[in-house]
């Protein structure tokens, strides 16, 4: 073990109002982590209820497949999965890059990216390409650190009610 404490990796694409949360902890292999995410969806269920919003949980394993599950008001409201071994390509021909890109755009991660107004590459690259940080789960300063990444909206002017 590397001695890493569990944390929450928070990534943000502000222009599209997309926030990605991922558990970070000492795992022996990335492949095991994908399987863990596929089975543990309490956080998205609870967030969907608390925020009164649709929350999407996804698992992306570049060797095995991808899955997206949507939660609303604490309940599963949709989702899709593609296992790469089960994908049938049209005919014996090899797909060119453009045709393969169009095919992947219809898979769960491509569709989710479309819903958010992003490209598939933007969505899958969130942990590396946008503002992000890892918040320790036992961190006393988590709120202050998170406020740097997700600043609270500024009130332009507060006017008291007329008496």
pLDDT of 161 > 60? The answer is: no
pLDDT of 162 > 50? The answer is: no
CB 126 within 8 A of CB 13: yes
Q: Note every long-range contact of 97-106, with CB atoms under 8 Å and residues 24 or more positions apart, other chains counting.
A: none
How many CB atoms within 10 Å of residue 148?
A: 9
CA distance 11 to 70: 19
CA distance 106 to 127: 22
For residue 159, what pLDDT is reported? 36
CA distance 57 to 80: 11
pLDDT in tens, 34-89: 667 777 788 899 999 999 999 999 989 888 999 999 999 999 999 999 999 998 87
pLDDT in tens, 105-144: 999 999 999 999 999 999 999 998 788 988 887 777 878 8
Confidence of residue 4 (pLDDT cuts 50, 70, 90): low
CA distance 85 to 71: 27
pLDDT of 91 > 70? The answer is: no
Check residue 160 and report its DSSP letter.
Answer: P
Higher pLDDT, 152 or 48: 48
């Amino acid at each position: 073990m590397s001695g890493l404490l569990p944390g929450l990796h928070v990534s943000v694409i502000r222009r599209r109002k997309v926030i990605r949360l991922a558990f970070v902890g000492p795992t022996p292999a990335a492949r095991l982590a994908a399987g863990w995410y596929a089975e543990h969806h309490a956080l998205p269920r609870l967030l969907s209820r608390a925020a009164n919003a649709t929350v999407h949980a996804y698992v992306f394993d570049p060797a095995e497949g991808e899955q997206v599950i949507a939660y609303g008001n604490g309940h599963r409201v949709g989702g899709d999965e593609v296992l790469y071994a089960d994908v049938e390509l049209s005919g014996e021909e090899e797909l060119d890059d453009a045709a393969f890109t169009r095919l992947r755009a219809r898979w769960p991660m491509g569709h989710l990216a479309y819903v958010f107004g992003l490209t598939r590459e933007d969505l899958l690259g969130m942990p590396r390409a946008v503002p992000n940080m890892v918040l320790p789960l036992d961190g006393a300063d988590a709120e202050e650190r998170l406020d740097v990444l997700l600043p609270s909206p500024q009130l332009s002017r507060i006017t008291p009610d007329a008496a």
